[in-house]
Structures are given as C-alpha cells and as structure tokens.
Structure 1
C-alpha cells in the first residue's frame, strides 16, 4: 500500500510552472533522510538547483531540470552528489555545494550531462552522455573510465576526402574525430571539441580539415604524430537538425576558392579558408539563413543556394550566373519548402535535384534540367512517410 507524504511539500501556483518528474536518493547512513531532485520549473525562467527532504515531514524547496541524477553516500548521510550539466558535491546535506567537474570547472575531469548515478557494493557508478565512470571513493579522486567494448559514434557532422581516404566529423557529445587511410581500419584520431554538427575537408589537400568549434586542423600521417592547426577564418551556419545546415562548399576547379553561408549572407574565400569576404546579403533578416550551396563544375560562375526562413514553411531558392555577384530567385514547386536539399549534376550545370525534407507524401523530390526555370516532380511512393535526410547526385549515373 502507498500513502501520500505531502506534509510541508512545496506546491507552486505560478501559471508558468512545469512538472518534469524527479529523482530520489536515500542513504543507509540515515534511513529517515530522503533527498528529492525535482525536474521542471516552479516559475518562469527558473533555472533551479536541488530539492532535499529530511525525514518525511520537512521539505526544503529548490528546483532542477533535465540532465539530472542524485546519489547519497551510504556511509555519510550529509554527503550527496548532484548531477545536471555539471557535477556538484554537498557535504552538509544540501546547504551548500562545490563543483566537481563540468562546464563550471572542478578538480576532476568527467563528461558533462549527467544521467544516472548508482552505488553497488561500495562502488559508485556515474553515467553521462559521454560514458561510464567507476569510483571506489565516492568520486573524491578521478574515477576510472569504463567503456571497454562499448563502441558507438553518432556523427552530427560529416566530411570526406578522396585523394587520400579521409573522414571527419563532429560526434554527438564526444568531440571531433578524424580518420586517415594510414591509421588503419576503424582507427580515428580525437581532435578535440564538444558536439558541433561540423567537419569539412579540403578537396585538394585532404589532410586540411575544418571545424566550427576547434578551427582548422591538419591531420597527421600517423596516429603518433602531432595534430597541427590550420587557419579557418569563419564557420558556416550549422544545426543539430537534419537538412538545416550550410556548407563550406569549394569551387570544383580550384580548392582555394570556397563559399559558406553565415546568417543570411554568402561569404567567399580565395585562400583556402584563411579569410572570407562578404559576397552577397539576402534580405534584412539575419535569421533567414543561407543553407546549402552548389557550384557548377562546368561553369563555376553558376551557383545555387537555398535560404531557410526563421518562421513559416516557404523557403527560397536562388541562382547566380556571375559567380555570386547578382542573384535571381527561382520559383519553387508547391509544398513545404522551409528545408531544402540541393544536388547539382557535375556534368550539367542546368541539371539540379532538390528535396523537401518536410514535404508531404508525393511532394518530396524534384528535378530541373533547365537551370530552375521549371521543375518536375520525381517523388515516388517509396518516400511516403519518410523525411529526406540527404541528397547526393552520383556522377555518371
């Protein structure tokens, strides 16, 4: 049977309150001591901390939210570990806290975004978005990282080279990784960084790679050699959501010339990304971002790009025939064009494929063979109830 223990419990009456659940911790050191970590907001803009309870009758209010875990020391009822984005410790029953690790710093080094804490046979287990840690002293000293045999990489950004086999990209929560053909199958080099949806490769010198959070990096020829920096004067619009990023798009016939979208502007480099010059501004709204860019292989003065609106479901498709100096807006097919993917035929600058990732069934992929004057709907039923994530024309097919 269950009985409601509500005596002294805090209840918000603010209309902006939000209940997101809770985490509970108990301790063998004092079975009457209960800690509760509330998830949600008691009021608007409530960043919150921790709610603790002593016994069943006295509840002391503070609030917390997502990325949360709490653990009480089984040998000391006053010591608790509280994890959110960062990891904190209290040795006075929650009256005060000191940082252990995370964005705020601390004496130890653990991944941010704490998810679950457990105490098993005197061993403390800390799980985060970046892995699992094992401690025999309640995380007083640096814990062991226990991930042997657990392999997973979620690329939020991705780039590739083909003169030399090179793969790069930003991983979800685990920084940027780089692969070179000399490293051997499955061996990647950790380049640093956080979790940016980034990673671009110079098509000429493939070992020169670019990232929004760590700048340019030149991959070494072996895993034991040092990573060296490479200039990268500006990074493009990037998004964690599919089909919502811009590119660092190189001119097909010159790998020192490239283009990227930043806010509602198109920028151009002529020195391989060392510096960029503003080429064109599309309207006045910075939030209407420049996204995907395609440059003609036969005539690099022909450039296509799409612009995603901050609100609404009607995007824009632009075309330049003079290297980006002037632009004309093309008429898009009917449908939800907020997100647009582009892929240009490398043998025909007038042959362009586009896709609407948010398009309805029957209105997802289109083709033009006359440079955007008209489009033909080529959507098949195979795409019903699917969201197009990427679009790539394979040359010669």
Structure 2
C-alpha cells in the first residue's frame, strides 16, 4: 500500500500503540560475520550446468553458486523459513527447484520449517506450496521426465505427534498434495529413492522418533520404523520385512545405483551397539545382505545416514559420517577420503550424473564442492551461516563481540575493523565458550573472557586457564545442558555467576567459586503428554533432569539475582544467594524453558522472562513481565506472531519501556514496555534469533544460522513514538573522530571474491523524519564559531561506486550516502574526514525552506595517545 503522507499513517498506527514502520526506515543491520559456515544437510548440483550448485543451510536459507563453490549468494532471504532440510532440481526442467524446509537430523538443537517452496526461475523468486505442518522434511524426489510430479519425505513434528507426516505426492507441481504413505501420527518419512529405469518404483524409509524436552543424546526409535516399497507410483506400499535386515531399527539412509538399478544401498541404524551397518540389495530391495558392520559408517546413525552410489560405477559408493568414506567393492570395505581437519561430520553427497568427478557435500561446517573426484574441495570459509547461541559485547573501544558457534567453536571480532572491511583477518578463535557455551566479559581486564565451564582467556596474548566451578563441591553429580549460563554482575565487576542445578558465585573474576543455592530445579515430574511411548520409556532413572538455564543479576541492586530453569521455574535472591524465593508465574508448567531473564536497568523489582515451550510442541510466544519482584507476572505478547516462540527479550538501558525480542524467525521491538510488539526485521534475513545484546548505542544480534549482525545507533528508536507525526531532525548521537579514517587498509587488500563483513559508517549519523514528500532537503554543519564545515543536498549527484571496493555480495551494500526526500525516517551519514577536530557542532536540516537544528558532539578516539 502506498501512503501519500506520513501523518495519516502515524495517526492510524497510534490507535494500535505501535510506531509506524516508516519511522524505522532509516535503519539497517550490517553483517559482521564470521564467514565460517554452519551446518548444512541439503545440497545439489544442476544437471547440464556443471558449475552451478545449491545448498540449504539448517538455519540460513538457500544459497547458489555459479562458479563451483568459489562464491555463494543467498537467494531465499525474503522467505519466512530459514531451516532447510531438502532441495531438489527437476532433471527435465532445471530452472524448477523444490525446497523442503526444516532440518530432519533430530538433534536436540533442531530448527523447524513451514513446508514446501518452489521456484520456476532457478531461485530468483519463490512461492510457498503447502505442507505447512510437516515441520521437518528429509528428502524430495522429482520425476526425471515430469517436473510437476514429485514426492516429499516428511518426518513431522520433532517434539510431538502430528498428522502431516509420511510420504506426500503431487502431480501438479505442488498445487495440491495427497498422502501417499502414512502410518500414524508418530511416524514420519526420512529418506526415499526412485528406480532410475522405472519411475513408478520407490523405496521409502519410515522412522518413528521423538525428542523429549530434557537433554538426551540419541533420540528414541519406535516400532513404526521400517522400509516400504511401492511399484505403482505411490498408490500402494508394502513393508519390506526380514530378508536380511535387522529385526528392529531406526533411521535408514538409502541410495540406488544408476549404473545397476537392481542394486540398492542402505545405512541402517539400530540404536544398539550391534546389528547396524551398510546393507546391499541386488533385487531392488526384496532381499538384503550385510556388506559391512564397520561402526565408523553407521555409528550415530540417528544423526548421519547419508549414502550415495556413484552414477557410473555400480561398485563405488560413498557413506557420510564423521568422515567421508568411499568403497570401490560394492560396500564391503571403505576408506576415508575426507575428514577432520577440514570440516568433520558429513551428511549429504550429490554426484553429477554426467560427470562423477563433480560433486557437492553438505557438512556440519558448511558446503564444499569438488571438481576432481574428491581430491580437492572448495572452501567453507565463504558462507556466513554460522549458528550462534549467545553473544556478548565487552567494554573496549571499539567494542568486541564474542559468541560460541555450533560445530566450530567460539570466536570474537571487533565491531569495527582497522581494515577496510571486517574479514577473517579480524575474527579470532577462542578456547572459551566451545561450540555451545555462554561467555562473559571481565570489565576489569579488557580482552579477558570467561565461559560457563570455568575457562578464562585473555584475547590479547592467548593466555587461558580452566577453573571447574564444581570441582570438589558437594551436591553432585552435577547436571549439564548443551548451553549453560555465565553472568557478570553489572554492579560489582569482580563477581560472576554460573550454574548447574545449583548456582555458583565467584568474587574474584572467576578464579574460585562457591555454591550459593540449593538444587533449584523441579524435584518431581510428570511425563509430558507430547511424548510417544518409546520416548517416554527412554528416560534416565534419575528422579529429575533439569538445570538452572539462565541467570540475570540486577543492574540496580547489589546481590539481587534472578534464576530460571529449563524445567519451568523462576527464582529470586536479594542477598546474593543466602535466601531464595520461588517466584514462578502460575502459568508455567513443567519443562517450560526459561530461556532468558532480563533484569531491568531502572527498577530492581522489574524483570522480563522469555519462555520457550517448543520442546513441548507448543510454538506460541511467551514473554512475562513483573514489576513487583515476581509476585505478579503479566503475559506481554500482543503483536508477536502466534506461531513464533521467543528465544530472548532485552530491555533498552537508556529508554525505559523500549524492549527488543528475538523469536525463532525474527526480531521485534516494543515501545510501550511490551504491551504491543512490531517487527524490527528491516534488512535482516529470517533466522532463529538466539540472542540480542545492547552494546552502547548498538543492537548486536546473534542468529542461529546467519552469523552475527549489528544495528548501528539506536538513538532513533529512543526518540520516536506513536506521537511522532511532524517533520523532525532527531538528536544525533556523539560521533568519534577515529585515528584511522575510512578506507584504511594495510598490506595487500583482499581479493574481491573473498567474503567480508561491513564496518559501521564512518562519520556522524544524522537521522530525520519527513511527514510528507519534500522537493529539496539539505544538511549544513557548522562548528562552534558558526563556520560551515560540511554541506550536502538531495540534489547532489551520487558518487559512482569505487570498483576497488565492490564486493560480489550485493546485500552488504547499505544506505546513508545520499539525502532522501520521501516520507518517513531516513539516515544520512556525514563523512567528516580524519582531520575534523573533536568538539561541539551544529547540524541544520532544511526541508523546502524550513530549518531544523540539533547539536552534534564529535569525540576524540579513546585510543589516541595524548
């Protein structure tokens, strides 16, 4: 909808107590990386186009390469789903691409999708084509002769029963779907193969599995698991029983040989120490023989299971596991051809049917391409699809951001590089944090970080030591979860807190720890109703399983600490752990995860809690607010999408009532203390938003699939409101005159194809609002003596881009170089150069002859020696 004037829009918006979206238009996020890739299950090449490949990250959408993996471009950012489980190119019409959203690897940390997508132009545009409730999709098969006939293997809900699971078929390109193979609400489909000489013959792998809300390693496998075969294009199916297969099994990966269509390979997981392995059928699945029981090939088969037959050689077959293994004798013996170091944990391999030397593999650390039969591979350091759990910002200048990346370990990066861009030269691997830990910064010792396991590291010289908080402490055995908290006291820089089922405190910057609470988790539980029989029976005999999942010390009062558990309790101490009060909202049931509590910066009795219930198969958003120390809690979710559970809530430390929230799909903002929410997505791609941190004037976003982004200068959000209706020049934040100005780089610059993040704009950010379209907008900057030192006009011709600084990733280009005349909010960056003196200045905005003025302060670089 096009609106003629901002005033009318704002007037309508004020009734809903939301700020009009056009007032956010001047803001944009910037990607800082890292470009060290995250987990991927889905990948494919394009028959007839040997250099073109696609992959789908489990949390980062769809990407395409036109140069055999040298560079990758995102092509799915406008779609709602970020987690991709399967992708298929139609052999008869390669511009038709089908995508199944939702990874189907059944990790405890698993992201879901919302059904099927289709492109008819090679990924330039996409349409959602149904199966919304499948959640996790493992495989797509497209009829080689008809791009409109396809089959989808849907695993279904990972934490509960649902009807939309099994094998689905469409004969009209996804316009309509029929259930081809359905067993029950607890069993889904994980893999499929099609006979290359008879497209009516298919074999499907069905898997009954479920995740409980507590931490377990392998998921359960129920009696619904099995192999099924159809010879009439999915109209009817018969179960393949016995005939050489184990009596009971779980996840089965399948591949059929194009060189010998009678031969079918299977990797069978039995969830036991014996019985699994690589099996071979020489009669299209009727009978099977165990080729090898080598546990390297089927160990952790619930997570792996990828197997790919060479399209030209019937005896050559590849198996994906912690290494990539190849057999040249029909599966009897295997040798590793790729493994750690280099991105261990491999899931999928696609081989070009015309040229088997060209292949693509999806791994826990991204996607790699080979054009020489696996001798060499492209890099996975060119995909910003890292999965972060939490992020922190320290108090250095420029501030550093650090976080733990799944499968790759923790890394830290300055928010502003001394180089022209942020690149791999700036990112620093760390020992703290591991691949899933939480990190805290030591404010007394800049560059020193601590993690929840007790590791302390100084980034400046690599020094580190480990102090296990639980060592020698009574009360064990100590329970853990994949992520545990560590929190730095905002009022005492020597004090840190961490937890297991109890809370630990350090008063000496993490060098020693003391227990300050009893076991704060629930002492008794009932079995959640979302579990099936096998999962409910697969429970550790210990009486309870929970941990203290989050800790939030008050910025207002020393010794006040909030604690939340992953089994649904909230506690408060006001005396540093001497006494604890159970302040759990009455609405919370067991196994509601208290994901993040944020203690207010303005009032010690106010706190906000993000509650995650998706492991109970409940995706509704839950944010609770208390203003009386936990005696009463209000649910504050109006405006949040009904199907997006919340990972994080944060309060702005400057403007009271300004809140930020991250859901499993996007970022939201509230200007009225949570009474109403609205999107703050802007240019941010959809992803699971796991953490939000306010660093000075910036918002740092830790995503679980698209790395780390920063929204620079929140001052507009701290000034606008529903009553902002007229043309306005907002008060600018102080700007720093850096020692090194824009464009600085030392040594040889990076090649243009090397991935890079973006520094914040150099200069002063000038934000203004236009109530209606203007003919001419100018900005004039004067010093304390009234001398003009800068001027810009909307009539100025934009400077052509500098070819030496162009990147091949167009989504990194940000606005701010020209003055805009359209209605809404805009940001203009005054690039004042290196020689501008720190001091007081005045900014004058002229809109069609009317002048608006604000003060501007320029600050000296704090690093500059005086």
TM-score in same-fold range (> 0.5): yes
* Stretch of structure 1 that moved more, 193-202 or 275-284: 193-202
Question: Aligned in 2, Cα 1:87/1:325: closer, same or farther, shift over 3 Å?
Answer: same
* Equivalent position of 2:448 in the other structure: 208
* Equivalent position of 2:571 in the other structure: 318
Q: Are 1:160 and 2:414 counterparts? A: no
Match 1:251 to one of 467, 489, 506: 489
- Contact 1:166–1:206 (CA under 8 A) maintained in structure 2: no
- Counterpart-to-counterpart distance in 1, 2:342 and 2:282: 31
Q: CA deviation at 1:176?
A: 2.0
- Contact 1:267–1:277 (CA under 8 A) maintained in structure 2: yes
Query: May I ask how many residue pairs the two structures share in their alignment?
Result: 370
Q: Are 1:176 and 2:434 counterparts? A: no
Match 1:231 to one of 456, 462, 465: 465
Question: Aligned in 2, Cα 1:384/1:117: closer, same or farther, shift over 3 Å?
Answer: closer
Question: Aligned in 2, Cα 1:22/1:372: closer, same or farther, shift over 3 Å?
Answer: same
- Normalised TM-score (structure 2): 0.38
Match 2:561 to one of 288, 300, 303: 303
* Equivalent position of 1:282 in the other structure: 519
Map of 1:327-366 to 2, 5 A cutoff?
A: 327-336=580-589, 338-340=592-594, 341-358=596-613, 364-366=622-624
Q: CA deviation at 1:168?
A: 1.1
- Counterpart-to-counterpart distance in 2, 1:380 and 1:98: 56
Q: Are 1:219 and 2:454 counterparts? A: no
Match 2:277 to one of 39, 49, 59: 49
* Equivalent position of 2:11 in the other structure: none
* Equivalent position of 1:128 in the other structure: 363
- Counterpart-to-counterpart distance in 2, 1:365 and 1:199: 24
- Counterpart-to-counterpart distance in 1, 2:243 and 2:446: 59
- Contact 1:33–1:77 (CA under 8 A) maintained in structure 2: no
- Counterpart-to-counterpart distance in 2, 1:291 and 1:214: 16
The structure whose RCO (Cα within 8 Å, separation 6+) is larger is 2
Describe the superposition over 1:107-152 as per-residue Cα deviations: whole angstroms up to 9, x where unpaired: x74432332242463344433232334446543x5x2334475432
The alignment's C-alpha RMSD in Å is 3.9
Match 1:81 to one of 318, 321, 326: 318
Q: CA deviation at 1:259?
A: 0.3
- Counterpart-to-counterpart distance in 2, 1:186 and 1:214: 30
Q: Are 1:112 and 2:345 counterparts? A: yes
Describe the superposition over 1:6-46 as per-residue Cα deviations: whole angstroms up to 9, x where unpaired: 999836573x434645123455xxx47835134554x7666
- Counterpart-to-counterpart distance in 1, 2:550 and 2:561: 11
- Counterpart-to-counterpart distance in 2, 1:34 and 1:25: 6
Question: Aligned in 2, Cα 1:132/1:335: closer, same or farther, shift over 3 Å?
Answer: closer
* Stretch of structure 1 that moved more, 49-58 or 152-161: 49-58
Q: Which has the larger radius of gyration?
A: 2
- Counterpart-to-counterpart distance in 1, 2:451 and 2:579: 29
- Counterpart-to-counterpart distance in 2, 1:116 and 1:272: 47
- Contact 2:453–2:468 (CA under 8 A) maintained in structure 1: no
Structure 2, gaps ≥5 residues long: 1-197, 202-229, 232-237, 471-478, 524-542, 657-866
Q: CA deviation at 1:391?
A: 1.2
Q: CA deviation at 1:260?
A: 0.7
Structure 1, gaps ≥5 residues long: 221-226, 310-314
Q: CA deviation at 1:365?
A: 3.0
- Normalised TM-score (structure 1): 0.76
* Equivalent position of 2:507 in the other structure: 270
* 3-state DSSP of counterpart to 1:156: strand
- Contact 1:26–1:35 (CA under 8 A) maintained in structure 2: no
* Equivalent position of 2:81 in the other structure: none
- Counterpart-to-counterpart distance in 2, 1:317 and 1:215: 27
- Contact 1:70–1:117 (CA under 8 A) maintained in structure 2: no
* Equivalent position of 1:36 in the other structure: 265
Q: CA deviation at 1:393?
A: 1.4
Match 1:17 to one of 226, 233, 249: 249
- Counterpart-to-counterpart distance in 2, 1:97 and 1:203: 52
Question: Aligned in 2, Cα 1:59/1:356: closer, same or farther, shift over 3 Å?
Answer: closer
- Contact 2:495–2:506 (CA under 8 A) maintained in structure 1: yes
Question: Aligned in 2, Cα 1:183/1:101: closer, same or farther, shift over 3 Å?
Answer: farther
Describe the superposition over 1:47-88 as per-residue Cα deviations: whole angstroms up to 9, x where unpaired: 722123457687423685443333456786545432123322
Question: Aligned in 2, Cα 1:32/1:393: closer, same or farther, shift over 3 Å?
Answer: closer
- Counterpart-to-counterpart distance in 1, 2:499 and 2:370: 46
Q: CA deviation at 1:204?
A: 3.9
* 3-state DSSP of counterpart to 1:326: coil
* Stretch of structure 1 that moved more, 74-83 or 273-282: 74-83
Question: Aligned in 2, Cα 1:246/1:127: closer, same or farther, shift over 3 Å?
Answer: closer
- Counterpart-to-counterpart distance in 2, 1:171 and 1:148: 14
Match 1:369 to one of 627, 630, 652: 627
